[in-house]
């Protein structure tokens, strides 16, 4: 079973328009509605792929109840969400002007250290009842504690399972705290090129530049590092080896959640013991399939199989 932790789920609304007029009235057709949050999206992809998935995290207020209702209707996962103080956020994506991607995202309810401790204790008990094979912690958290995700990783290692794979698709100060840790590191991270630039405080624009920077001490001890490069695919460092992944051009509907789908696909592949090259291809194919849907974290397994044949993985 894969456990995904989403500290800040959202109700996602995707709007599509040929041209977006800033400062003027814009009329849209009804949006595509779906439940988002990186952990939810990754879990959805893993579940559609065939993994058993447990979703946990926080929901609050009226929108939290709506999100829970939508998740139950999907009938893909086991749900064990905790109640948060405040209102679950909304996230609006507008696709316009030749696939320009504009997002309006609320901050969501603030999560305290005490609430996080309750969540982690609940996960520990859940693991005793039903073995968890992989943990995926994804997305933002509205917290005053810049080391909250590091503390969650420490808890997993010291109280739940020292060896369980922990995937962490996070960014900003939470990711920086993880990378600076001298004790525990996640098994997997997935910054994009721009996030890598922010982490190292230098301009990085190409796969070649990114490859040179992944020997930085920050990345020591991380088994899988996937640098997403948009339409150029990805660069992956697996232990001490580098892999260049190239993807074909495809028609795009909505790229929101494609990175999350790649994480969910990779989590599924690792849990199911795919060979490394097959796991990398499956991950990228899931991201590509998601980009062809209005909903987030949604894939078509038939399209995934088709895309896998079009993806190349080259060991550098």
Sheet strand arrangement including 32-36 = 32-36, 10-16, 89-96, 100-105
Q: Using the CB atoms, write b or e for 55-75: b if 16+ within 10 Å.
A: bbbbbbbebbeebbeebeebe
β pairing state of 2-6 and 10-16: unpaired
Structure-token match 């001890």, residue found: 221
- pLDDT of the chain, 316 residues: tens digit per residue: 999 999 999 998 889 899 998 899 999 988 888 898 999 999 999 999 999 999 999 999 999 999 999 999 999 999 999 999 999 999 998 989 987 889 898 999 999 999 999 999 999 999 999 899 999 999 999 999 999 999 999 999 999 999 999 999 999 999 999 999 989 999 999 998 889 999 998 998 888 889 989 999 999 999 999 998 877 889 999 999 999 999 998 888 877 789 999 999 999 999 999 999 999 999 999 999 999 987 888 999 999 999 999 999 999 9
Beta bridge partners of 89: 10
Rounded distance, CA 240 to CA 287, Å? 25
Task: Give the number of other Cβ atoms within 10 Å of residue 221's Cβ.
Answer: 14
Which value, to the nearest 10 degrees, does the dihedral of the CA atoms of residues 305, 309, 313, 314 take?
A: 170
In the chain, the domains with their CATH numbers are 2-315 (3.40.1190.20)
Q: Are the beta carbons of 132 and 1 closer than 8 angstroms?
A: yes
How many helices (H) and strands (E) the chain has is answered by 10, 14
237 phi, psi to nearest 5 deg: -110, 120
What's the half-sphere exposure (Cβ side, CA atoms, 13 Å) at 288?
28
Residue 290 zone, left/alpha/beta (φ > 0; ψ -120 to 50; rest): alpha
Alpha-carbon span 13 to 28, nearest angstrom: 12
Query: Looking at residue 1, what is its pLDDT?
Result: 96
Note the helical H segments in 130-192. 148-155, 172-180
3-state secondary structure of 102: strand
């Amino acid at each position: 079973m894969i456990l995904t932790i989403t500290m800040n789920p959202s109700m996602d609304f995707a709007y599509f328009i040929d041209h977006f007029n800033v400062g003027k009235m814009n009329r849209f057709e009804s949006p595509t509605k779906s439940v988002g949050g990186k952990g939810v999206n990754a879990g959805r992809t893993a579940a559609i792929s065939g993994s058993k998935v447990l979703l946990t995290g926080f929901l609050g207020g009226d929108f939290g109840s709506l999100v829970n209702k939508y998740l139950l209707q999907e009938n893909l996962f086991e749900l064990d969400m905790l109640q948060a103080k405040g209102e679950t956020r909304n996230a609006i994506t507008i696709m316009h002007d030749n696939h320009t991607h504009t997002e309006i995202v609320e901050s969501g309810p603030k999560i305290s250290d005490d609430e996080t401790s309750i969540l982690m204790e609940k996960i520990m008990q859940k693991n005793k009842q039903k073995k968890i094979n992989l943990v995926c912690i994804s997305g933002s958290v509205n917290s005053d504690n810049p080391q909250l995700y590091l503390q969650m990783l420490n808890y997993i290692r010291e109280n739940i399972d020292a060896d369980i794979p922990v995937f962490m698709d996070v960014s900003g100060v939470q990711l920086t705290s993880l990378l600076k840790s001298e004790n525990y590191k996640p098994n997997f991270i997935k910054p994009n090129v721009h996030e890598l630039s922010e982490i190292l405080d230098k301009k990085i624009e190409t796969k070649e530049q990114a490859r040179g920077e992944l020997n930085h001490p920050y990345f020591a001890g991380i088994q899988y590092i996937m640098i997403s490069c948009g339409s150029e695919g990805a660069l992956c460092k697996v232990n001490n080896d580098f892999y260049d992944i190239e993807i074909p051009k495809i028609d795009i509907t909505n790229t929101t959640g494609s990175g999350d789908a790649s994480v969910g696909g990779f989590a599924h592949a690792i849990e199911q013991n795919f060979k490394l090259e097959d796991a990398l291809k499956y991950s990228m194919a899931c991201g590509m399939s998601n980009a062809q849907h209005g909903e987030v974290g949604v894939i078509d397994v038939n399209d995934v199989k088709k895309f896998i044949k079009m993806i190349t993985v080259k060991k550098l």
